[in-house]
Amino acid sequence: MVTIKQLILGFFALIGVVILALFLITGWYTVDESEQAALITFGAVEETVSEPGLNFKLPWPVQRVEILPISTNSLRVGYVEEDGEVTEYTDEAKMITGDENILFADLVVQWRITDVERYLFNVDDPERILHNATSASLRGVIGSSLIDDVLTDQRPEVEGKVFDNLTGLIDRYDIGITVLDVKLQDVELPTEEVRRAFTEVTDAREERLTKINQANRYRNQEINEAEGEQDAIISRAEGQRAERIERARGDASRFNALYEEYQNNPEVTRQRLVLETLEDVLPGTDIFILDSNQDTVNYLPLRPMEQREEEAVLADQGRSNDSEEVEEPEEPAEEPAEEPDEEEIQENVEEEEADSVEDDEQEEGGNS
């Protein structure tokens, strides 16, 4: 017969076996490299374990462990994906833009658990809260944007606005989640006909931008050429300016030197200026200067002397050419006319003056 003592001993033995079984079953846990564990004691988070390995704890129901991912998580809004391919779009992907056009928009949210206690106890389903907040942020931004901006070159701005709105909502909800990135996946029009019309509009817009860029490039080219020509004209003008200034300075210096010579010997300088002016005004003309006694000035070079030298040079060249050709009967060369000497030139000048005086007297007599 079983006694009371044996019953009590058996009861405590059963409790020990149960505790040992619970310890063997729930008294340990493992954490992988991509996980983190929250050690909960009587409903309160006592410790967060992020180091991988085997860990021990008190058996249930004293302590329990929640294993949560520590890596980045992805949340898809607006579509269902299987094996890396989009299978269908959900109703939440259909949205209306600010200019009252319908389109399908979906995105991916990258998020991470940063506060385990708030993630476990502040809300019942943090991922559902994140999903709803993302959908609301996307609809708010799409509803205030134009369809052209969403479909073309304003997608980064749309993503930035969605990220800011979603971050503000998550911080206000305080669910222990941090949003890392928001990325639009596909933004499409509802029907093929609408897509084709929009594609034509987009092509026309791109062609317009191309024409504008070409016009701007041509404008810049013409401006550069005009500026280059302007610089060249300015450079030439500055060169001419410097040249004229230096020439004027040289003329002024020459005039000052001539003025000094004129002050030293006015008569000689005056005659010199007259002779130089005659040479400039009558180039290539035989000029004879007579003094007060009607005599030719001897110190001036006479043109006949120069002409005789040129004729002598031409005669020498002609003889050298004749020696190379076949010999022909030579005709007697004409002797060059003798140049008048100075006395003959003086006599001719006196005769011409006398004739001019007689002609003047005859004209006066005829007039009387």
- Inside any domain, residue 26: yes
pLDDT for the residue 298: 52
- For residues 87 and 107, membership in a common domain is answered with yes
- Inside any domain, residue 358: no
- Inside any domain, residue 336: no
- For residues 51 and 22, membership in a common domain is answered with yes
CA-derived radius of gyration, the chain: 59
- For residues 237 and 290, membership in a common domain is answered with no
Per-residue pLDDT tens listing for the chain (368 residues): 567 776 676 766 777 767 667 666 666 677 777 777 777 777 777 777 777 777 667 677 777 877 788 888 888 887 776 665 655 667 777 888 888 888 888 889 999 988 888 888 888 888 899 999 998 998 889 888 888 788 777 888 888 999 999 999 999 998 889 999 998 887 877 777 777 877 787 788 889 999 999 999 999 999 999 999 999 999 999 999 999 999 999 999 988 888 888 888 888 888 888 878 877 777 766 656 666 665 555 544 545 555 556 667 677 666 665 555 444 444 444 444 444 444 555 555 456 555 554 555 544 444 44
Of 288, 305, 322, the domain-final residue: 305
CA 159-164-170 angle, 5° bins: 120
- For residues 84 and 175, membership in a common domain is answered with yes
CA 38-29-128 angle, 5° bins: 40
- Inside any domain, residue 351: no
- For residues 91 and 146, membership in a common domain is answered with yes
Of 305, 335, 358, the domain-final residue: 305
Number of domains in the chain: 4
- Inside any domain, residue 185: yes
pLDDT for the residue 333: 44
Distance CA 289, CA 262 (A): 22
Contact (Cβ atoms closer than 8 angstroms) between residue 213 and residue 129: no
In DSSP terms, 183 is beta-bridged to 108
Contact (Cβ atoms closer than 8 angstroms) between residue 40 and residue 66: yes
- For residues 12 and 43, membership in a common domain is answered with yes
Distance CA 196, CA 309 (A): 98
In DSSP terms, 179 is beta-bridged to 111
φ, ψ of residue 64 in degrees (nearest 5): -140, 165
- Inside any domain, residue 359: no
pLDDT for the residue 117: 83
Cβ count near 116 (within 10 Å): 22
- For residues 222 and 157, membership in a common domain is answered with no
Cis? peptide before 61, omega within 30° of 0? yes
pLDDT for the residue 89: 63
Among candidates 140, 77, 74, 79, which has minimal Cα distance to 110? 74
pLDDT for the residue 39: 76
Helix (H, G, I), strand (E, B) or coil at 46: strand
- Inside any domain, residue 285: yes
- For residues 11 and 36, membership in a common domain is answered with yes
According to DSSP, residue 283 is labeled T
pLDDT for the residue 327: 45
Domain interval for residue 221: 211-264
The per-residue DSSP string of 72-126 comes to -EEEEESEEEETTEEEEE-GGGEEE-TTS-EEEEEEEEEEEE--HHHHHHT-S-H
CA 147-148-150 angle, 5° bins: 65
pLDDT for the residue 363: 47
Average pLDDT score over the chain: 76
Of 69, 101, 121, the domain-final residue: 69
- Inside any domain, residue 332: no
In DSSP terms, 110 is beta-bridged to 74, 181
Distance CA 41, CA 50 (A): 17
Tokens describing residue 59: 């058996």
- For residues 142 and 177, membership in a common domain is answered with yes
- For residues 182 and 78, membership in a common domain is answered with yes
- For residues 10 and 47, membership in a common domain is answered with yes
Task: Please report the sign of the dihedral spanned by the C-alpha atoms of residue 133, residue 138, residue 139, residue 145.
Answer: positive
What are the angstrom distances between the C-alpha of 221 and each of 209, 210, 225, 228, 346? 18, 16, 6, 11, 76
pLDDT digits (tens, 9 = 90+) for 300-354: 454 555 555 666 767 766 666 555 544 444 444 444 444 444 455 555 545 655 5
Among candidates 106, 110, 101, which has minimal Cα distance to 138? 106
- For residues 14 and 112, membership in a common domain is answered with no
Helix (H, G, I), strand (E, B) or coil at 325: coil
